[in-house]
Chain A
Amino acid sequence: MATVEYEGNTFNVDEDGFIDSFDGWTKEWVQYVKLQEGIDELNEEHWMVINVLQDYYKKNGIAPMVRILSKLTKFKLKHIYELFPSGPGKGACKMAGLPKPTGCV
């Protein structure tokens, strides 16, 4: 298992660089991933997406489709991609500590 060091925190990550267990997630993880995702500053809307993803994952054990994410946040598709340029699957889920989506993504 690979580990990542970031400002005094250690995270266990899988082969795709996703956090290995949802329980290991902390706010510092988000700061670490945002650098790779090319996001300069995190605002309230980023956090809203992250919180919605986490709530949904806790209840359902899977990541929501982007449709559900938009319903819950009231954000338009275009706006979700403005917030997370690599998208809800690989960008936002990674930051929120969810596992990598399955399929060819």
Chain B
Amino acid sequence: MRQKSQNAIAFNESFKKRTNRQHVLSFAACAHCGTCNDSCHYFLATGDPKMTPAAKMDKIRQVYKAQKDWLGRLMPTWVGAKEIETDEELLELQDIVFGSCTGCRRCTFNCPFGVDTAALVGLARSCLVDLGYAPEGIKVVMKDQWEIGNQMGISKEEYLDTLEWVQEELQEEFGNPDYKVPIDKKGADFVYVVNPREIKYDPRSLQAAFKIFYYAGLDWTMGSEGWDNTNFGLFSGKADLGGHMGNLAYNHAKKLEVKRMIISECGHGLRSTKWEAPNWGKANPLPFEISSLLELMVDLINIGKIVLDPSKNPYPVTYHDPCNLSRSCGITEEPRFCLNRACVDFREMIPNRGDSYCCTGGGGAMSMSEYTGRRLEVAKVKADQIRKTGAAIVATACHNCVDGLSDVIKNYNLRYDYRDSKTPSLLRVCNVCELVAEAMVIPAEIKKTAAKAPQNAIKGKKVLVIDDEPDIIVFIETLLTDAGFKVVTANDGMTGLEKAKTEHPDLITLDITMPGKSGIQFFRELRSSAETANIPVFIITGAIDFRQLMYQKAVQAPDGFMMKPINPEVLLMTVNKILEKSVRNKTVVN
């Protein structure tokens, strides 16, 4: 056997110490079946077999086999068991775990055994970082988080000065010279914890969030300390740093005696602060709840504390699911709920939710310049996905994704043709809260916009209402008739289909759960017949499982969607919106 280098020996030792039960399961369960190949954007874009998740992990799986697997210890060469021997191998490993994986966990969701490649990558990263084998960018950020307490080395003065500036701009916008951004307000309902990028470069998302809090009349505060929700403990695999960052935020929140901590739109920030750091920092149980700004916005919309007018965001908007939110935090419907109410034309990117592709900047990749070339090469997958939506704006709920996607857009020159511009502009990327704040109807305007009467162009249009509950039919019928529409009704799918053909409605409102022909069957048949395929459909349902209509089928998606119980204002607004759009499209065609 070759003489091992000092670093290799140190790596093997710490690897052995840190391999836990989850790692062992993921190492042992992989059958190299190939299911994960197509799930990895590195493989999809390059077609390089070395870029498949299973192949990437083999470099460390061989160490696991040499150390833990009984067959590997008995007959190492037979099963390819081998510890790391040289510094070159460590560099090669660094290139794999930092430069060829963003820890997006898409492969885990596509793996029949649930092999958690990101956890294995984290294990290898933590062992490498200790030996100095890490991209410079990662080292710089780790140092800043340890020494200064935030990832961009922002001093307390600079932080407070920025908040004061945001306050000044908002005073002007609100027309209220007494407006104050609350800082260290003891006993507030929640403390808002942010991403340093918002302080240092882009406080637009702060302005948006503060505006929402202001008009909703919330009791909240910023913290003068522990305000960074990001955590390079996750990206470096270093639990001690992860615990340190978590505790900075937790301890300050405890001091302020708040009831909740709200995390601004940041994928890994929510995952680390809510789910990982309480364990890393041994801080459980926490005396307050942690949730995302997205969840808070949904509540505010639901209880009517903020009212949105989608016509303020007239351009097509799509949503990119940040990996950490969709695959590690279960946050997928909240942003859609907000965007469907804040924008006129919301379009799904396909695939989406738990099956979304990484923005290509995850896992700390944005801070690793060494790998930018490769990152942008494999971003082809994301670029194609965005291009197909035809959207002008890509909304997302993560600052890292905002920057990752902006790079993708610039590199692949993705543009949208606004009619009034002489050259098409690069697509815009923004946070969900910015569009929500934009759409917000300020209290003085609320009465004026509530349930507007339909425009002349859509007045007298015919709506077919399909629902099995007579009460609901009467309710919707009354609302629509009062608003100037003609209404025909059907109380099951079969009758509905007949009427769709004979009555030629301009719009169909459809319930999903009905006896006999279900709404889903109805919808597919409607879309498959040339006669009825183009009639706009507005789903009104109590069932949540409408998503198969939205993105699993080849047929064109429904034109609108709302959950029961029915909010009359939202119903009318959506009907108007769909009909106006279809009138516009017809005018263009003719």
Do chains A and B stick together as partners?
yes
- Per the bound structure, the CA–CA distance linking A87 and B415 in Å amounts to 17
B496 interface residue (CB < 8 Å to A): no
Across the interface, do B369 and A67 meet the contact criterion of CB distance under 8 Å? no
Contact of B369 among A14, A37, A66 (CB under 8 A): A14
Across the interface, do A86 and B204 meet the contact criterion of CB distance under 8 Å? no
- Per the bound structure, the CA–CA distance linking A40 and B207 in Å amounts to 27
For A93, the closest partner residue in chain B by CB is B201
Across the interface, do A105 and B203 meet the contact criterion of CB distance under 8 Å? no
Across the interface, do B202 and A66 meet the contact criterion of CB distance under 8 Å? yes
The 8 A CB mask of A92-105 against B (1 = contact, 0 = none) is: 00000000111111
The 8 A CB mask of B135-166 against A (1 = contact, 0 = none) is: 00100110010000001111000100110011
Across the interface, do A67 and B372 meet the contact criterion of CB distance under 8 Å? no
- Per the bound structure, the CA–CA distance linking A88 and B203 in Å amounts to 11
- Per the bound structure, the CA–CA distance linking A102 and B200 in Å amounts to 11
Which residues does chain A contribute within 8 Å of B161, judged by CB atoms? 67
Query: Restricting to B170-220, which residues have a CB under 8 Å from any CB of A?
Result: 196-197, 199-204, 207
Q: Is the interface of A mostly helix, strand, loop or mixed?
A: loop
Known contacts A103-B367, A104-B366, A16 near B372 by CB under 8 Å: yes
Across the interface, do A104 and B200 meet the contact criterion of CB distance under 8 Å? no
A86 vs chain B, min Cβ distance (A): 5
For B410, the closest partner residue in chain A by CB is A36
Which residues does chain B contribute within 8 Å of A105, judged by CB atoms? 197, 201, 366-367, 399, 403
Which residues does chain A contribute within 8 Å of B166, judged by CB atoms? 77
Q: Is the interface of B mostly helix, strand, loop or mixed?
A: helix
Across the interface, do B201 and A77 meet the contact criterion of CB distance under 8 Å? no
Query: Restricting to B298-338, which residues have a CB under 8 Å from any CB of A?
Result: none
- The number of residues on chain A lying at the interface, defined by a beta carbon within 8 Å of a beta carbon of chain B, is 29
- Stretch in contact with the other chain, from B87-95, B422-430, B502-510: B422-430
**How many residue pairs at the A-B interface have CB separations less than 8 Å?**
98
The 8 A CB mask of B404-423 against A (1 = contact, 0 = none) is: 00100010000100000011
B242 interface residue (CB < 8 Å to A): no
- The number of residues on chain B lying at the interface, defined by a beta carbon within 8 Å of a beta carbon of chain A, is 44
Across the interface, do B201 and A88 meet the contact criterion of CB distance under 8 Å? yes
Across the interface, do B403 and A104 meet the contact criterion of CB distance under 8 Å? yes
- Per the bound structure, the CA–CA distance linking A105 and B152 in Å amounts to 10
A70 interface residue (CB < 8 Å to B): yes
- Per the bound structure, the CA–CA distance linking A65 and B156 in Å amounts to 13
For A69, the closest partner residue in chain B by CB is B201
Across the interface, do A85 and B428 meet the contact criterion of CB distance under 8 Å? yes
For A39, the closest partner residue in chain B by CB is B426
Across the interface, do A104 and B400 meet the contact criterion of CB distance under 8 Å? yes
Known contacts A102-B140, A102-B367, A81 near B406 by CB under 8 Å: no
Across the interface, do B207 and A38 meet the contact criterion of CB distance under 8 Å? no
Across the interface, do A90 and B367 meet the contact criterion of CB distance under 8 Å? no
B324 vs chain A, min Cβ distance (A): 12
B364 interface residue (CB < 8 Å to A): yes
A76 interface residue (CB < 8 Å to B): yes
Which residues does chain B contribute within 8 Å of A17, judged by CB atoms? 372
The 8 A CB mask of B498-533 against A (1 = contact, 0 = none) is: 000000000000000000000000000000000000
Which residues does chain A contribute within 8 Å of B230, judged by CB atoms? 104
Which residues does chain B contribute within 8 Å of A78, judged by CB atoms? 204
B361 interface residue (CB < 8 Å to A): yes
B285 interface residue (CB < 8 Å to A): no
B289 interface residue (CB < 8 Å to A): no
Across the interface, do B165 and A103 meet the contact criterion of CB distance under 8 Å? no
- Per the bound structure, the CA–CA distance linking A87 and B166 in Å amounts to 16
Which residues does chain B contribute within 8 Å of A100, judged by CB atoms? 369
Across the interface, do B403 and A70 meet the contact criterion of CB distance under 8 Å? no
Across the interface, do A38 and B426 meet the contact criterion of CB distance under 8 Å? yes
Which residues does chain A contribute within 8 Å of B152, judged by CB atoms? 101-103
A103 vs chain B, min Cβ distance (A): 5
Contact of A103 among B196, B370, B422, B423 (CB under 8 A): B196
- Per the bound structure, the CA–CA distance linking A66 and B425 in Å amounts to 24
Across the interface, do A76 and B169 meet the contact criterion of CB distance under 8 Å? yes
Which residues does chain A contribute within 8 Å of B196, judged by CB atoms? 103
Across the interface, do A67 and B158 meet the contact criterion of CB distance under 8 Å? yes
Known contacts A77-B203, A104-B230, A105-B201, A85 near B403 by CB under 8 Å: no
B373 interface residue (CB < 8 Å to A): yes
B7 vs chain A, min Cβ distance (A): 25
Which residues does chain B contribute within 8 Å of A81, judged by CB atoms? 202, 204
- Per the bound structure, the CA–CA distance linking A16 and B404 in Å amounts to 12
Which residues does chain A contribute within 8 Å of B154, judged by CB atoms? 65
Across the interface, do A89 and B201 meet the contact criterion of CB distance under 8 Å? yes
The 8 A CB mask of A61-88 against B (1 = contact, 0 = none) is: 0000111001100001110010001111
The 8 A CB mask of A27-64 against B (1 = contact, 0 = none) is: 00000000011101000000000000000000000000
Across the interface, do A104 and B197 meet the contact criterion of CB distance under 8 Å? yes
The 8 A CB mask of A10-25 against B (1 = contact, 0 = none) is: 0000111100000000
Which residues does chain B contribute within 8 Å of A40, judged by CB atoms? 422-423
Across the interface, do B400 and A65 meet the contact criterion of CB distance under 8 Å? no
- Per the bound structure, the CA–CA distance linking A30 and B161 in Å amounts to 30
B172 vs chain A, min Cβ distance (A): 9
Which residues does chain B contribute within 8 Å of A87, judged by CB atoms? 201-202
Contact of A104 among B207, B399, B406 (CB under 8 A): B399
Across the interface, do A66 and B361 meet the contact criterion of CB distance under 8 Å? no
Across the interface, do A66 and B203 meet the contact criterion of CB distance under 8 Å? yes
7 A-B interface contacts by CB (under 8 A): A65-B158, A65-B201, A87-B202, A102-B140, A102-B153, A105-B201, A105-B399
Nearest 3 A/B pairs, CB to CB? A38-B426, A89-B201, A15-B369
- Please give the residue numbers on chain A whose beta carbons come within 8 Å of chain B beta carbons, in ascending order: 14-17, 36-38, 40, 65-67, 70-71, 76-78, 81, 85-90, 100-105
* 13 further contact pairs, Cβ within 8 A, besides A86-B410, A89-B201, A102-B140: A15-B371, A15-B372, A37-B426, A65-B162, A67-B162, A77-B169, A78-B204, A81-B204, A102-B137, A102-B144, A102-B152, A103-B197, A103-B200
